[in-house]
Chain A
């Protein structure tokens, strides 16, 4: 579903983020991106949703060449991708319900669809009773679950999670990972970049390790560190 062909990304100032990366991710996979800060994990995900363009190489997503995509097609690409960030990126002046509804408003959903879908996903992430609460009154774990609910509400085929447990304690992280596993089991592909080695080790999913902009390891049921 996602193909990187010899992708090189160099930021202005000759900063090499990715060098000659070739990678294939299939539909329904759960992939951990690991590696030190600055290894190119974020750049790799940004290339999928066309936040960045590569200097060389091609990126194919869902049968479409993302690199050659026209400007006005980008929003429709992003609607197929749910995004979860370390800092949640919720709107503080909107309630939990409104934050999720916002994702649907943006893609032009009707009021009826919104009223139907939002309680559904809130149920799924276990926050049905927090619909009217503002994000600032929630714990970090709850906020991240709201952002997951927002990411899945438009039925994406892919979820990109950028260090989603970075601001969460271990217990909350485990709950979140259970949620991701459930979503993955229903067929949604998940790419998650992380530094949380314990999570990676217990999940036993595919691990792609980056270092210095190159893929140095790609294991099917891998662990956080390369085991000799």
Chain B
């Protein structure tokens, strides 16, 4: 393809955008908004996933033993635990150790536990970690049937809730994105249709001068791609700077909230958004050209 032809394509596309500046701006805006929503919900999902991962890796089963469990019985339970394949590791925590841990945790408010040394109400316990989170609930049930076991506890519900929330965010974001994406495609299609209509005379002349269909189409395709790409670029810039500003602020005020700040991952997300914008623009053009530039 000749350089002059390429120059012609770009010149025509840009002229067309300027001619329909209001509709072009609207198309860019809709693409920007829909991708902004998509990008934000993706970030939310990524972060929820990270929090869920953190929680999962901290999940353990506490197996509380009845009072007056003898050392022999403890040994027996220990042997049984060793035989269970789901268990990654476990430790035995005596009531004294448990109390000391509490005291260490409470530090300044140690006096709350005063007097407990005499008659320690805490039970002896096993702390058990499984290989995967899915194994926690069934194993806990199994453990309850062991002799001398008083209670089996794990973070019942918390993980499930978090996973459900992240699923919900993902679905809602996806639905919203699809709807807005369709709106964006059709707005771009309308914009292109208008510029095809505005140039129908020119297109007629091009055809009798012997222009190939591609020669006629490329400027419109470029126009749509340009609109989609501009919209997604706006979305990407807003998300990128917005997100890293948020991370900066949160690190001071909410130190315990650890947001995903892996730049590579974020960049990958942004690239995906740009590509999607390009795709939306191209689809919009193709839709309106299929209708108007038959043959």
CB < 8 Å neighbour of B210 from A71, A91, A106:
A106
A129 within 8 A of B: no
Tell me which of B186-194, B201-209, B265-273 binds A. B201-209
Query: Is the pair A110, B210 in contact by a Cβ cutoff of 8 Å?
Result: no
For A, the interface residue count at a CB cutoff of 8 angstroms equals: 25
Query: Is the pair A72, B212 in contact by a Cβ cutoff of 8 Å?
Result: yes
Query: Is the pair A106, B206 in contact by a Cβ cutoff of 8 Å?
Result: yes
Tell me which of B2-10, B26-34, B154-162 binds A. B2-10
List residues of B whose CB falls within 8 A of some A CB: 1-5, 8, 201-202, 204-213, 215, 295
Given A105-B8, A110-B2, do A83 and B208 touch, yes or no (CB 8 Å)? yes
Distance to closest chain B CB from A79 (angstroms): 4
Q: Which 4 A-B pairs have the closest CB atoms?
A: A79-B210, A78-B210, A106-B211, A111-B4
A108 within 8 A of B: yes
Distance to closest chain B CB from A186 (angstroms): 21
Query: Is the pair A78, B202 in contact by a Cβ cutoff of 8 Å?
Result: no
Distance to closest chain B CB from A191 (angstroms): 15
Given A71-B295, A91-B202, do A103 and B209 touch, yes or no (CB 8 Å)? yes
Interface residues of A in 133-163 (CB under 8 A from B): 150, 154
A89 within 8 A of B: yes
Q: List the A side residues contacting B212 at CB < 8 Å.
A: 72, 75
Distance to closest chain A CB from B22 (angstroms): 20
Q: List the A side residues contacting B207 at CB < 8 Å.
A: 75, 78
If A71-B295, A108-B2, A108-B5 are given as contacts, then 6 extra A-B residue pairs at C-beta distance below 8 Å, sorted by A number, are A75-B215, A81-B210, A89-B208, A106-B209, A109-B2, A110-B4
Q: List the B side residues contacting A105 at CB < 8 Å.
A: 4-5, 8
Q: List the B side residues contacting A61 at CB < 8 Å.
A: none
A49 within 8 A of B: yes
Distance to closest chain A CB from B6 (angstroms): 11
Query: Is the pair A89, B2 in contact by a Cβ cutoff of 8 Å?
Result: no
Main secondary structure of the interface of B (DSSP, over half): helix
Q: List the A side residues contacting B4 at CB < 8 Å.
A: 105, 109-111, 114
A107 within 8 A of B: yes
CB < 8 Å neighbour of A107 from B208, B210, B213:
B210
| Interface CB pairs A-B, < 8 A, 16 | A75-B207, A75-B212, A75-B213, A78-B208, A78-B209, A78-B210, A83-B209, A91-B205, A102-B205, A103-B209, A105-B8, A106-B209, A106-B210, A108-B1, A108-B2, A114-B4
Bound state CA distance, A76 and B206, in angstroms? 12
Distance to closest chain A CB from B293 (angstroms): 12
Distance to closest chain A CB from B30 (angstroms): 29
Bound state CA distance, A72 and B202, in angstroms? 20
Distance to closest chain A CB from B292 (angstroms): 16
Q: List the A side residues contacting B295 at CB < 8 Å.
A: 71
Distance to closest chain A CB from B155 (angstroms): 66
Interface residues of A in 78-92 (CB under 8 A from B): 78-79, 81, 83, 89, 91
Interface residues of A in 161-220 (CB under 8 A from B): none
A79 nearest CB neighbor, chain B only: B210
CB < 8 Å neighbour of B208 from A49, A71, A110, A114:
A49
A111 nearest CB neighbor, chain B only: B4
A105 nearest CB neighbor, chain B only: B8
Bound state CA distance, A49 and B208, in angstroms? 8
